[in-house]
A and B are shown apart, each in its own frame.
Chain A
Amino acid sequence: MENNRVSELEVLNNEFAEFLKSVPLNVREDLEFYFKRINDRLERVNHANIKQDKITESYPKVVDFSYDEVAASLSDLFENISSFMPEEKRVTKPTSIKEDIVEEEVIPEFITPEPADRIIEPEIEEEIAEPIVEEEKQPNVIRHEVIGIKSLKVNEPVQETKTVETEKVSEMGESKPEIDMATNSLDLDTSHVDSAFPGLSQEEKEFGMSSLSTPTDFITETNFSLSDLEDTYLSENKEPIVLKEAPQKPLDSIEPKSFEEEVKENSEDMVKQQIPIGFSLSEIAIALCGDPNGWYDIYEANKESFNKIILEKNNGSFDNIENDHDLFSGVPAVFPTVFLKEVPETRKTLT
């Protein structure tokens, strides 16, 4: 077979040489160049095959070479080398491509170490626990639980502090006698004072007895000491003084007052206020009493000042002064609380 091949190669070479002679020069050079390259490649392949043959003759098991077996057999060697080398240059074990070869750690029964690399998985409980529902809190929301709600009275001021009222006890040890509001008298028993002070009036006697804290104020001709009065006043048997209410009149005896008298009484409760700008007297009367005719009551209450204004600005004429928005604007006035709402039919002009 080899001889046939060699002879075929020779034939091919001769034919190729004759072909080259007929080709132009530049083409010939290119073909010779490629021919040479191919021959060189073939020679190298032959040379490599020769070498391989020699290696297989001397090392017949090289064909069955597997990297994993070598790595496994040389793993101890790698360890020994690295133990002598510094940490920087220590070479790690060659990792095997196949994972079939795994050395199982032989752990004695009495020791159960937990390897660091092993991940401890939690035991799955048979009963599923209820999920903990947390309140969904937004980052900007803060909640406060309300314990109670109180309503504050409108009149009750918030800033003032509350004061605790205590019972006032007099120096004598008893509650002070309360004053009768109707008669403004203390209503004390002054019978024992009459003998000592016959000329005194009732008020003077009561006044004297009420101010017993200053006994030296009393000047008497007779040999009389206030300690006698004090003893009787401080006696334990003395009953406490009770406030007497004013005598109530029966309803039949109350005489009704005339309307004018009531107006006079209530007219004392005038309200001083500046007339707002742009408002007429009738509009103000509507606001105060609901009737525009009440303007005359306002005029009556401020007659003097209003007459001056009417003379100056309106030439003394009363025509339509109640509906004029500018006449009395900004004028300080007094407003009554009771309105008669009676406007006279005729209006005189001021002169």
Chain B
Amino acid sequence: MFFTNNDIIELKDKNYIVQKVALIENEAYYEVQEIEKDTNELLYDKLIVKAVNDNSTLFIEEVHDHELLENVHAKLK
């Protein structure tokens, strides 16, 4: 697992805060919510993402598969 609850993920133009985590088939899925970079105010954009390590670079990948999203929502804590 790369992130835990209340971790702030910094991207180039956005920041996300990790709110919940779910483990499905040895893969961690995170429910993240966008926050403002300067003030850390919560915004409305919520996502389900997973972490991917590609050539020693960490990425977060958005998940849009409906079946997988249902499973993830059922297991989020």
Please report A residues at the B interface, Cβ cutoff 8 Å.
140-152, 154, 158-159, 161-162
Contacts and interface: CB of A to CB of B under 8 A. Distances in A.
A151 B6 CA distance: 6
Contacts of B3: 149
B41 A147 contact: no
Interface string B37-77: 00111100000000110000111111111000000000000
A142 B11 CA distance: 13
A149 B10 contact: yes
Contacts of B35: 158
Contacts, number: 66
A143 B11 CA distance: 11
B8 interface: yes
B11 A158 contact: no
A210 B12 CA distance: 53
B28 interface: no
Nearest to B59: A143
Contacts of A146: 9-11, 51, 58-60
A149 B18 CA distance: 11
Nearest to A153: B6
B4 to A, nearest CB: 8
A149 B16 CA distance: 10
B62 A159 contact: no
Given A144-B61, A145-B58, 14 more contacts: A140-B64, A144-B59, A144-B60, A146-B10, A148-B10, A150-B10, A151-B4, A152-B6, A158-B17, A158-B35, A158-B42, A159-B40, A161-B41, A162-B40
A146 B61 CA distance: 10
Given A140-B65, A158-B42, A150 B57 contact: no
A25 B34 CA distance: 111
Interface string B1-25: 0111011111110100100000000
Given A158-B35, A158-B41, A158-B42, A145 B6 contact: no
Contact of B17 (A145, A147, A152, A161): A152
Nearest to B33: A158
A158 B8 CA distance: 11
A152 B16 CA distance: 11
Contacts of B17: 152, 158
A152 B35 CA distance: 12
B60 to A, nearest CB: 5
Given A159-B42, A161-B39, A161-B41, A143 B10 contact: no
Contacts of A144: 11-12, 14, 59-62
Contacts of B39: 161-162
A143 B64 contact: no
9 contacts: A144-B14, A144-B60, A144-B62, A145-B12, A145-B59, A149-B3, A151-B7, A151-B8, A152-B17
Contacts of A151: 4, 6-8
A145 B64 contact: no
Contact of B62 (A142, A152, A161, A162): A142
Contact of B52 (A140, A143, A150): A143
Nearest to A135: B54
B60 A149 contact: no
B11 A147 contact: yes
Given A145-B11, A146-B11, A161-B39, A154 B58 contact: no
Given A143-B60, A145-B59, A146-B60, A152 B7 contact: yes
Q: Which of A142, A161, A162 has the most CB of B within 10 A?
A: A142
Nearest to A161: B39
Contacts of B8: 149-152
A141 B7 contact: no
